């Protein structure tokens, strides 16, 4: 059974990899043998993450990338093609949130959320799928959200972006299945990350109270951890899910039950 989880010799790319779910996933994939390229717009945090993971023996490389910028994404693809010649796993995870209704939301905030969370999936996939296809296939995992399946309050742009990711995933799976590329979506519930904690500030709610309220109504009665989500990504990246594509894996402690 352990052979299903072994990822030695594979090249993985993780966006939003300097913190939260991206960091936990990059670490887990690397522990199981991948060469992992983490992409993030935060240069300082990205380099710190690279150094910290390299110090514990993991094969990690940081590349600064704005996933909303086509030139950045194309440059990443060219770099990976030149150095490694392939991509086996792509985790499109970068995202931001603005906790506002459509009435209160500025157009700039709408554009920022849609661009990072949805356009970023499109752009990086656009430039990395040809490389994945040419090397025989691979697995793409897109980060959606429970709020991409059902609505949420004061998060109009985020709900729209994540719903787009869910259905974009299905379209990509149909288009690229014949190329041996599996495309799936992981939908976390509230997970203890810097992004979730930023929501408390946006809503002007005391942080610990906000985190408690985010957990209390779930059947498992706790927040998710980044590691909880990373394990779901591992399933979708590994051969355990060899006949799984175009689907949505909800990892939310029962929040949507």
Q: What is the CATH number of the domain that holds 30?
A: 3.40.50.720
Q: What's the pLDDT score for residue 3? A: 76
20 in a structural domain: yes
Contact 50, 26 (CB under 8 A): no
Q: What's the pLDDT score for residue 206? A: 96
For strands 60-64 and 35-40, give the pairing: parallel
Rg for the chain, CA atoms, rounded: 17
Torsion angle defined by CA atoms of residues 34, 232, 91 and 217, in that order, rounded to the nearest 10 degrees: -140
230 in a structural domain: yes
- What CA–CA distance (Å, rounded) separates 43 from 29? 22
113 in a structural domain: yes
161 in a structural domain: yes
Taking CB atoms within 8 Å and a gap of at least 24, the contacts of 60-66 are 60/26, 60/30, 60/36, 61/35, 61/36, 61/37, 62/17, 62/18, 62/37, 62/38, 63/37, 63/38, 63/39, 64/39, 64/40, 65/15, 65/39, 65/40, 65/41, 66/41
209 in a structural domain: no
96 in a structural domain: yes
Exposure on the CB side of residue 256, measured as CA atoms within 13 A: 17
Range of the domain at 45: 2-191+226-247
- pTM beyond 0.95: the answer is yes
Query: Into how many domains does the chain fold?
Result: 1
203 in a structural domain: no
Q: What's the pLDDT score for residue 5? A: 79
Catalytic residue among 84, 122, 127, 158, which? 158
33 in a structural domain: yes
Mean pLDDT, consecutive 10-residue stretches, the chain (257 aa), reads 83 98 98 97 98 98 98 98 98 98 98 98 98 97 98 97 98 98 98 95 95 92 97 97 98 96
Q: What's the pLDDT score for residue 216? A: 87
To the query of whether residue 158 is one of the catalytic residues in this protein, the response is: yes
Contact 138, 88 (CB under 8 A): yes
| CA distances to 64, 85, 100, 128, 183 from 78, in Å | 14, 9, 38, 9, 22
């Amino acid at each position: 059974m352990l052979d299903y989880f072994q990822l030695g010799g594979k090249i993985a790319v993780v966006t939003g990899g300097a913190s939260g779910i991206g960091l936990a996933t990059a670490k887990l994939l690397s522990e199981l043998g991948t060469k992992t390229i983490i992409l993030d717009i935060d240069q300082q945090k990205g380099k710190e993450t690279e150094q910290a993971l390299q110090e514990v023996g993991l094969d990690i490389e940081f590349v600064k990338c704005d996933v909303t910028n086509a030139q950045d994404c194309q440059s990443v693809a060219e770099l990976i093609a030149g150095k490694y010649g392939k991509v086996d796993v792509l985790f499109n995870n970068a995202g931001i949130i603005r906790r506002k209704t459509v009435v209160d939301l500025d157009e700039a905030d709408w554009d920022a959320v849609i661009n990072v969370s949805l356009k970023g999936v499109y752009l990086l996939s656009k430039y990395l799928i040809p490389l994945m296809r040419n090397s025989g296939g691979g697995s793409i995992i897109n980060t959606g959200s429970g709020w991409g399946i059902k609505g949420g309050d004061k998060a109009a742009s985020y709900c729209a972006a994540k719903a787009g990711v869910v259905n974009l995933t299905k379209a990509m799976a149909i288009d690229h299945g014949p190329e041996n590329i599996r495309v799936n979506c992981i939908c976390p519930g509230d997970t203890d990350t810097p992004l979730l904690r930023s929501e408390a500030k946006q809503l002007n709610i005391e942080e610990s109270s906000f985190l408690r309220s985010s957990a209390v109504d779930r059947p498992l009665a706790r927040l998710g951890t980044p590691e909880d989500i990373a394990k779901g990504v591992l399933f979708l990246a590994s051969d355990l899910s060899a006949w799984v594509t175009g689907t949505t894996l909800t990892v939310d402690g029962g929040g949507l039950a």
